[in-house]
Amino acid sequence: MAEKIQLLAVNPGSTSTKIAVFIDQEKVFGKDIIHQAEKLDTFKEISDQFEYRRDMITEALEAEGYKLEDFTAFVGRGGGLNACAGGTYEINEQIINHATTNSNHPATLGSIISDSFAKKYGKRSFIVNPPDVDEFEPVARVTGIAEVIRESRIHSLSHKEVGLRAAEQLGKKYEDCNFLIAHIGGGISVAAHKKGLMVDGTDLLTGDCPMAPTRSGFVPPGWIVKMCFSGKYNEKEMSQLLRKNGGLVDHLGTSDVLEVKDRIAKGDKYAKLIYDAMIYQVAKTIGSYAPALCGEVDAVVLTGGISRDENLVAELKKSIGFLGDVIVFPGEFEMEALANGAYRVLTGVETPLVYTGDPIWGGYEAYK
């Protein structure tokens, strides 16, 4: 019998670090390591948190009887990279250099921590579909302002994982399918998946997306211009309206969907209007990407924490069911996605990609 593959997945977030142990593809242990804000504030840069988070991971594993030297490989969330193709990357020095230099989100520590464990114990380390995945077709990048280029900022780890699962459910390969996929959580991202590539989709950072619990979503640009020059907002405040304090937060003062639904149940008409508007915008965005697939859609796939809301799913099915079957994978599968990506490489199903940092998009010069 072949030796079982034991993997450690590491997913650092803003106030916690998620870890999970997998034996082959079965999750046997998981833990959210909570970090106190006061402690994190003592670090000037996110990259400075490396030793602190690494040591807390080690302590948590030791408390459960796990030894780092017993793991087959390590896999981390990743980030801070130049735009790159989707897939599983074996961590190299270029990944570490970019993750360290561009550490604007704790997820970048996933690759750094995983690499440190691998080097110490002579094992392999990976990242899987990092946030920097960009597979847009050139035509999808163009806007009406020459210096503004559309970029892919999608829940790529989640999208790719449920794309694989949906294809398996249909008895096909992901690379042979066309999907419209929506991750519906604190942020909402939608993408057209054509034969294994996310050829067009939303941008979570710039507001080119549906309204979400914490994000404004698309707002007519003219209004944004007026707000920017009104004197009421500085750059940071405008940015936070787009990414942190917009959507349900701006309208209803909360990002908690359960609270919003409770208010609706108690007769709050404004809460219902805003929540219905969010669902409508999700449906409208999903439909807007059907042309990227020429209408040839194998399925619409819904995932993310808010997709647990059966009423939301039912409303979306009413609106976009004409596009094809709707497959729902409620919840989040980030840890499973990380482990599955590494497992596919370790079992020879998938060849690991090499990160070079070379640009995906060369700009308009190639067309002039």
Question: What is the percent of the chain where pLDDT is above 90?
Answer: 94
* Secondary structure string (H, E, C) spanning 136-147: CCHHHHCCCCCC
Least trusted range by pLDDT, from 53-57, 79-83, 100-104, 121-125:
100-104
Average pLDDT, the chain: 96
**pLDDT tens, position by position, 29-84:** 999 999 998 999 999 999 999 999 999 999 999 999 999 999 999 999 999 999 99
Query: Predicted confidence band at 1 (pLDDT cuts at 50, 70, 90)?
Result: very low
Using one digit for the tens of pLDDT, what is the confidence trace for 276-303? 999 999 999 999 999 999 999 999 999 9
Q: What is the pLDDT of residues 219-268, one digit of tens each?
A: 999 999 999 999 999 999 999 999 999 999 999 999 999 999 999 999 99
pLDDT tens per residue across span 305-353: 999 999 999 999 999 999 999 999 999 999 999 999 999 999 999 999 9
pLDDT of residue 362: 87
CATH topology of domain 6-132+335-364: Nucleotidyltransferase; domain 5 (3.30.420)
| Domain locations in the chain as residue ranges | 6-132+335-364, 138-332
6-132+335-364 matches 138-332 in fold: yes
Considering the four listed CATH numbers 3.40.50.150, 2.160.10.10, 2.30.110.10, 3.30.420.40, the one that applies to the domain covering 138-332 is 3.30.420.40
Find the mean pLDDT for residues 76-95. Answer: 96
pLDDT at 104: 81
Q: In this predicted structure, what is the pLDDT of residue 307?
A: 97
pLDDT at 2: 64
Q: What is the pLDDT of residue 314?
A: 98
- Provide the pLDDT for residue 137: 97
Nearest to 131 by CA among 163, 111, 150, 155: 155
pLDDT value at residue 37: 87
Residue 272, pLDDT score = 98
The residues, ordered by sequence, that sit 6+ positions from 352 with a Cβ below 8 Å of its Cβ are 87, 88, 89, 90, 126, 345
Grouping H, G, I as helix, E, B as strand and the rest as coil, residue 112 is: helix
- In contact, 277 and 211? CB cutoff 8 Å: yes
Report helix angle 93-101 to 109-121, nearest 10. 140
In the sheet that holds 88-90, the strands lie side by side as 26-34, 16-23, 6-12, 73-76, 124-128, 88-90
CA distances from 98 to 5, 19, 112 (A): 29, 23, 10
